Amino acid sequence: MATTYQGDEALNRLLEEDKSAFDAAAVRDLIAGVLAAPAADPGDSWIVLAAPRAGNELTGQLAALKEEIASALGDPAPWSPDRLADLRAFLKDTGLNGIVVPRSDEHLGEYVAKRSERLAWATGFTGSAGLAVILAERAALFVDGRYTLQAAQEVDAALFEILPLAADNGDWPPGLWISEQLSEGAKLGYDPWLHTSRQVSQLGRAAEKAGAELTACPKNPIDAVWKDQPPPPLAPVFPLADDFTGSPSAEKRAGLAATLKQDGEEAAVLSAPDSIAWLLNIRGGDVPFSPLPLSFAILNGDATVDLFIDGRKLTPEAAASLGDGVRIATPDAFGAALDRLGKDAKTVRVDSGLSPAWISDRLKEAEARLKTGDDPCQRPKACKNETELDGMRAAHRRDGAALTRFLAWLERAVADGGISEIDAADQLEALRRQGDHFRGLSFPTISGFGPNGAIVHYRVTSASNRILEPASLYLVDSGAQYLDGTTDVTRTVAIGDPNLEMRDRFTRVLKGHIALASAIFPKGTSGSQLDVLARRALWEAGLDYAHGTGHGVGSFLGVHEGPQRISKLPNRVALEQGMVVSVEPGYYKEGAYGIRIENLVAVIPASVAGEAETEMLAFEPLTLAPIDLALVEPGLLDAAERDWLNDYHARVADEITPLVDDETATWLKLATRPLEDPFKD
């Protein structure tokens, strides 16, 4: 239906006929915002924003106009050194000797909108974590270990020193660099919207060491010189039904208001988009991989919310769903609202670890009574209710069916030969896409064969793409967003005959997975207390893995969420009933292969033989997909471990078989066959 755009005059007529509040100029603005969001899925859901009652002709014209604007925009320009020159000229004009450029937006989340890719704009580096410091004469880009190679490829080494983001001895290399490179009396600019207060203090101390000064920029200097910077994204915001959320927003707001009251607080400022989406039962698409609308909110003691959001992105259903308890204002009005909290001498909770320094600074200036505390949505959001858990279970059945079909296909396709990492990732996505409620991937698929599998955060490119061929291991870590839940699963598959070492390592990772997944633990236990269970079998062989063991996962929200985690690092957050976490021990042999076995699990009450003296919790596996038996060394499993694996596989077969084609079902039957005791005669 490739309609040609008929011009603004014709569009204005159609808009008027179909009772749109927009004229062509306003529609063009809207489309600019829509195009600043990641590609929506389905692609034309935005049209309702311009004209809720659009007929076929208007719909066609709007789609055509969007196409026209998109092709006029073209691909983003590649990085050029002119950008650095422009930025430095601007800094000089504004009396700054340098600027800090983090890879974060005003919401400090994992994924950012196109307009917030300031680090990539300034340096050329497109990784998901990093920090640049740009001074008049020198500049440095700090990246973590997983991005050293990529940064070297993408960034002009004549202009940027590439340095590690963290040091083993606990030093903070950007701070050291700043202390060394800044001259006395220099002014180093930063954008208080893009750092927490703690990060600002850290930067401040570094500048102070050099006798220099850290200065908050009233406007981000990159925004000032980035000529074709995309506008704020305008992905449609839609309501998520109570069937999925299990709790109306009014109920959540009343609950949190009671919490605030108990803590002697009269309001809480929310800047984390997943908190706001959870609280208001809305979803959107302003950033990749997470269904998040970007906005700010103030939760008031009377259970009402002031939501600072571009109203154009609210679908009529979303606007209606928010109801009387939620007042909509433009993002511009946010600062004044904080000032009002101060003027009214309110006691206001701010999560200093999650929110930008700008918010605390403004509240302090306004003389509000600032109380730092946890974002009040974080804990209740992490503890899924029964509806959410049922949704997660349903989403995991569909996701497991897609993954099982993929694994069955992979075995056949690899035998035929020529399957690459990209082919495999595409096939898996295509199979997932067929599932109900599918809303896109929950993160970029890690599809790594052989040595690429040993790169923990590997992301296949056409340059790195490998063919899956005997004999090594293929590691695929992937997940999807569904209206009823978010998934994240890793399976490692033998391609050809695995050698003894691979089977030994895989079985140790599996033992760790089982030990953690089958743990029974008292209420109050944190993830860090349990972490060792996943590592013990590796440690016994002098092996380990250099990443955390588990992260929280949202309900059709971020695939990484707090506050709980399972990790070597100390953490006092207890694992509570309803929390969903990943269990993902691994083993990586550099230059050879990688192994990871990841299921999501939900925290549930434990049943123990006899009477428990204290309230006990356990994990329920949510993920349903076979674990490659070709990689299991049965002699390394004890009876309880073997029982766990057999029970798990029986459950996978039970739940997934009805959802897959016959060919896959036949494959699955073999893939989930029970292991026998190797020592039994």
Residue type, 363: L
Q: Which of 556, 632, 6, 85 has the alpha carbon at shortest distance from 281?
A: 556
Q: Which residues contact 622 (CB under 8 A, 6 or more apart)?
A: 392, 393, 396, 580, 599, 600, 601, 602
Residue type, 380: P
DSSP state string for 51-73: -TT--HHHHHHHHHHHHHHHHHH
Q: Of 152, 430, 612, 650, which one interacts with its own copies (CB under 8 A)?
A: 612
Q: Of 39, 152, 430, 541, which one interacts with its own copies (CB under 8 A)?
A: 541
Rounded Cα distance, 532 and 186, in Å:
47
Stretch that binds its own copies, among 118-126, 263-271, 325-333, 602-610 (CB under 8 A): 602-610
Query: In 560-638, at which residue ranges do the beta strands (DSSP E only) sit?
Result: 561-566, 580-583, 586-589, 593-596, 599-605, 616-621
Closer by beta carbon to its own copies, 228 or else 613: 613
Least Å distance between CB 373 and its own copies?
13
Q: Contact between 214 and its own copies (CB under 8 A)?
A: no
CA distances from 228 to 36, 203, 294 (A): 11, 29, 21
Rounded Cα distance, 342 and 362, in Å:
9
Q: What is the DSSP letter of 450?
A: G
Q: What is the DSSP letter of 506?
A: H
What mask, x for binding its own copies by CB under 8 A, covers residues 635 to 664?
---x--------------------------
Closer by beta carbon to its own copies, 195 or else 505: 505
Q: Contact between 531 and its own copies (CB under 8 A)?
A: yes
Least Å distance between CB 629 and its own copies?
23
Closer by beta carbon to its own copies, 297 or else 601: 601
The token pair at 513 is: 């997975």
Least Å distance between CB 669 and its own copies?
32
# residues near its own copies by CB under 8 A = 33
Q: Of 23, 93, 365, 540, which one interacts with its own copies (CB under 8 A)?
A: 540
Least Å distance between CB 508 and its own copies?
12
Q: Contact between 78 and its own copies (CB under 8 A)?
A: no
Q: Of 141, 212, 240, 519, which one interacts with its own copies (CB under 8 A)?
A: 519
SS3 call for 681: coil
Rounded Cα distance, 604 and 118, in Å:
42
Q: Contact between 530 and its own copies (CB under 8 A)?
A: yes
Q: Of 608, 647, 669, 678, which one interacts with its own copies (CB under 8 A)?
A: 608
Closer by beta carbon to its own copies, 445 or else 518: 518
The token pair at 480 is: 């999807």
Q: Specify whether the CB–CB gap between 429 and 443 falls below 8 A.
A: no
Q: 171: exposed, middle or buried (C-beta count within 10 Å: 0-12, 13-18, 19+)? A: exposed
Q: Contact between 353 and its own copies (CB under 8 A)?
A: no
Q: Which of 480, 481, 491 has the alpha carbon at shortest distance from 513?
A: 491
The token pair at 61 is: 């014209």
Q: What is the 3-state secondary structure (H, E, C) of 3-41?
A: CCCCCHHHHHHHHHHCCCCCCHHHHHHHHHHHHCCCCCC
Least Å distance between CB 163 and its own copies?
23
Q: Of 367, 544, 654, 676, which one interacts with its own copies (CB under 8 A)?
A: 544
Stretch that binds its own copies, among 268-276, 334-342, 405-413, 603-611 (CB under 8 A): 603-611
DSSP state string for 521-535: EETT-BHHHHHHHHH
Stretch that binds its own copies, among 17-25, 283-291, 312-320, 514-522 (CB under 8 A): 514-522
CA distances from 374 to 53, 196, 263, 488, 569 (A): 42, 14, 11, 26, 19
Stretch that binds its own copies, among 3-11, 325-333, 490-498, 529-537 (CB under 8 A): 529-537
Least Å distance between CB 455 and its own copies?
17
Rounded Cα distance, 448 and 492, in Å:
10
Least Å distance between CB 598 and its own copies?
21
Least Å distance between CB 275 and its own copies?
23
Q: Which residues contact 654 (CB under 8 A, 6 or more apart)?
A: none
Q: Contact between 609 and its own copies (CB under 8 A)?
A: yes
Least Å distance between CB 350 and its own copies?
20
Q: Contact between 533 and its own copies (CB under 8 A)?
A: yes
Q: Specify whether the CB–CB gap between 231 and 35 falls below 8 A.
A: no
Q: Of 167, 520, 650, 670, which one interacts with its own copies (CB under 8 A)?
A: 520
Q: Contact between 539 and its own copies (CB under 8 A)?
A: yes
Rounded Cα distance, 508 and 512, in Å:
6
Least Å distance between CB 680 and its own copies?
12
Distance of CA 441 to the CA centre of its chain: 10
Least Å distance between CB 182 and its own copies?
20
Least Å distance between CB 515 and its own copies?
9
Q: Contact between 606 and its own copies (CB under 8 A)?
A: yes
Least Å distance between CB 145 and its own copies?
16
What mask, x for binding its own copies by CB under 8 A, covers residues 565 to 584?
---x-xxx------------
Least Å distance between CB 169 and its own copies?
11
Q: Contact between 591 and its own copies (CB under 8 A)?
A: no
Least Å distance between CB 64 and its own copies?
59
Q: Contact between 254 and its own copies (CB under 8 A)?
A: no
Least Å distance between CB 540 and its own copies?
5
Stretch that binds its own copies, among 293-301, 463-471, 604-612, 670-678 (CB under 8 A): 604-612
Q: Contact between 169 and its own copies (CB under 8 A)?
A: no
Least Å distance between CB 613 and its own copies?
5
Q: Contact between 681 and its own copies (CB under 8 A)?
A: no
What mask, x for binding its own copies by CB under 8 A, covers residues 24 to 43?
--------------------
Closer by beta carbon to its own copies, 84 or else 581: 581
**Residue that the structure tokens 């893939």 belong to:** 671
Q: Of 71, 72, 614, 680, which one interacts with its own copies (CB under 8 A)?
A: 614
Rounded Cα distance, 77 and 471, in Å:
42
Half-sphere exposure of 171 toward its Cβ, with a 13 Å CA cutoff? 12
Q: Specify whether the CB–CB gap between 570 and 561 falls below 8 A.
A: no
Stretch that binds its own copies, among 90-98, 140-148, 526-534, 619-627 (CB under 8 A): 526-534
Closer by beta carbon to its own copies, 472 or else 529: 529
Rounded Cα distance, 139 and 162, in Å:
9
Q: What is the 3-state secondary structure (H, E, C) of 157-186?
A: CCCCEEEECCCCCCCCHHHHHHHHHCCCCC
Q: Which residues bind its own copies (CB under 8 A)?
A: 519-522, 525-526, 528-533, 536, 539-544, 568, 570-572, 606, 608-614, 616, 638
